[in-house]
Structure 1
Amino acid sequence: MSSGLLKMQICNLQNKQKRERATMVAVCCC
C-alpha cells in the first residue's frame, strides 16, 4: 500500500539529485 508512495519519494529524490548535479555542472562550466 505505502510502497507506491515510497517509490514516488525515491523518484522525487533522484530527480532532485539530478537537477542539483545538472546545476553544479552548469556552474562548473561557467
Structure 2
Amino acid sequence: MANYTAEDVKRLREATAAGMLDCKKALDEA
C-alpha cells in the first residue's frame, strides 16, 4: 500500500504541474 494520500498527490501536482500518474509514480519511489 502506498504511503501517501490523495492530498499529497494534489499538492505535488500543484507544485510541479506534473501529471497525476507522474505524481503517483514519484511518490511511490520516494
What's the TM-score once normalised by structure 1's chain length? 0.38
Q: Which has the larger radius of gyration?
A: 1
What's the TM-score once normalised by structure 2's chain length? 0.38
Comparing both chains, which one has the higher relative contact order based on Cα–Cα distances under 8 Å and sequence gaps of 6 or more? 2
The structure with the largest helix share of the pair is 1
